[in-house]
Amino acid sequence: MPRFLQPILAVIAGLCLGLAVTWIAGENPWHVFKILCMGALGSPYDFGMTLFYATPLVFTGLSVAIAFHAGLFNIGAEGQLTLGALAAAAVGALWPQCPSIFAPLAAGFAAVFAGTLWGAIPGWLRARRGSHEVINTIMLNFVAAGLSSYITLYLLKNSETQNPETRAIGATYMIHQFAFFGGAPVSLALPLAIVAAFCVWFFLAKTTWGFELRAVGQSESAARAAGISADNVRIIALSLAGALAGLVGVAEVLGNAGRFKVGFSPEYGFIGIAVALLGRNHPFGILAAALLFGALHKGATALDLETEHVTRDLSLILQALILLSVCAEGLWSWMAKRDVSASGGTGGASVSASRGISTAREDARPTAKKPK
């Protein structure tokens, strides 16, 4: 079946299961579904908020995906985006009179730089020390949280309020917000996200570095034998992943709040993993998946008010069910096998250990008979 069909089916399956859950809870599932749709798309404001939630998800989804193409798991997008946002806010707060031509660029670069750094550290540790990036990125999330709290509360505190947030950045830093979303903060960060997706696609599919990155992700030993430095690729991959996550700082600080608020992120970094999975690690799939998750998030906010038995947490349930459906690899490959007439594709249930030294590839795959 074509590649994009599986995620679509998974979404439908997840939605159906989730709505079935609401039915068990005592609500009319069709009613819930309508609330979700209206909440996500019902008015320019609603759609704008959907896009607003989707934009950071594009960045974190790309971040996770690019690391994944190199065979690495970036669980640290949350920390990377936190520091990215903090960096942008810090530059804006410390240098408020920066001319408006440079201001967003300067803050943007700071955000990317901070994110890159937070990705390069686990990248270097993995490359040079073999220390697994899953553990390091998760731990660095905590470090980033602590660091950003400290800097916000003690160094850059906004003295005008009790909220844990930094001083406002200069007005020249704010980027343009589109007017036709009824007040929803949809800024230039949205086209930036789309451009980023295109750039990531181009990088992976068309450039030499992208080729090497994917080769390392596919087979490190084959890449090494071909002269590719797996160490360098890993560092670059996680650095790029960090940079992409850092761009969330642009969306949040420059395009919305104008300051860094502790805890602003509703787990964008982790939902980015789900977005990447649903989008099959393809930049264009990630755009679609981010939009879907943004819609779910926004659509569910109305559930608290409009239903008796269902709260906004339904969005989490739906996300989880969709993810489970996407990840049901066994189900999909079973279905794919049934496509191939009558019986089995490559080797069925052979008595082999789950991780053989060299997996038994079908060596005698016969060639199709062509009339000469």
Partner 1 sequence: MTGTFPAVELRGLSKRFGACVANAGVSLRVAPGTIQGIIGENGAGKSTAMKMLYGVYRPDAGEILLNGKPCSWSSPADAIAAGIGMVHQHFMLAGPHTALDNILLGAEPTRLGLINRTQVRQQLEQLSHQYGLNVDWDRPVEELPVGIQQRIEILKLLHRNAIILILDEPTAVLTPQETGALFHNLTQLRDQGKTILLITHKLKEVMTFTDRVTVFRAGKVTGEAQTSQTNPQELANLMVGRKVLLNVEVQNAKPLPELAIDVKHLNFTGSRSRHQLLDVSFSVKRGEIVGIAGVEGNGQSELLQAMLHPRDPNCRSSGSVAFLGHDATNWSARKIRQLGVALIPEDRHNEGLLLDRPVSENFALGLHRDPEFNCAGILNSRNIATTATRAIEEYDVRPPELTMPAGKLSGGNQQKLIIAREFHRNPKVVIAAQPTRGVDVGAIEFIHKRIVRARDEGAGILLISAELDEILALSDRILVIFEGKIVAEFLRGNLDETTLGLKMSGS
Q: Do 273 and 64 meet the contact criterion of CB atoms below 8 Å apart?
A: yes
Does residue number 364 form part of the binding site for partner 1 (CB under 8 A)?
A: yes
Considering only residues 219-238, where is the footprint of partner 1 by CB under 8 A?
A: 219, 221-229
Closest CA to 46 of 255, 177, 186: 186
Contact with partner 1 (CB under 8 A): which of 2, 99, 357, 372? 357
Among 330, 362, 371, 372, binds partner 1 (CB under 8 A): 362
66 binds partner 1 (CB under 8 A): no
Calculate the CA 94 to chain-centre distance: 30
Among 97, 161, 361, 372, binds partner 1 (CB under 8 A): 361
User: CA 344, 346, 347, 352 torsion: positive or negative?
Assistant: negative
Tell me the C-alpha distance between 204 and 213, whole Å. 8
**Bridge partners of 177?**
187
Distance CA 250, CA 266 (A): 16
**Binding flag, residue 2, partner 1 (CB under 8 A):** no
Nearer to partner 1, 160 or 363 (CB): 363
Residue among 105 and 222 whose Cβ is closer to partner 1: 222
Choice between 31 and 214, CB closer to partner 1: 214
64 CB-contact burial (10 Å; exposed 0-12 / middle 13-18 / buried 19+) = buried
- Name residue 166's beta-bridge partners: 157
CB of 192 to partner 1, least distance (A): 23
Q: Which stretch binds partner 1 (CB under 8 A): 10-18, 176-184, 274-282, 350-358?
A: 350-358
Residue from 159, 348, 371, 372 in contact with partner 1 (CB under 8 A): 348
Q: 170: which 2 tokens?
A: 């200069």
Distance CA 290, CA 272 (A): 8
Residue owning tokens 């009558």: 342
- Judged by CB under 8 A, the stretch of 110-118, 184-192, 213-221, 271-279 that binds partner 1 is 213-221
Residue placing its CB nearer to partner 1 in the complex, 159 or 221: 221
Q: Which residues bind partner 1 (CB under 8 A)?
A: 128, 206-209, 211-212, 214-215, 218-219, 221-229, 340-345, 347-370
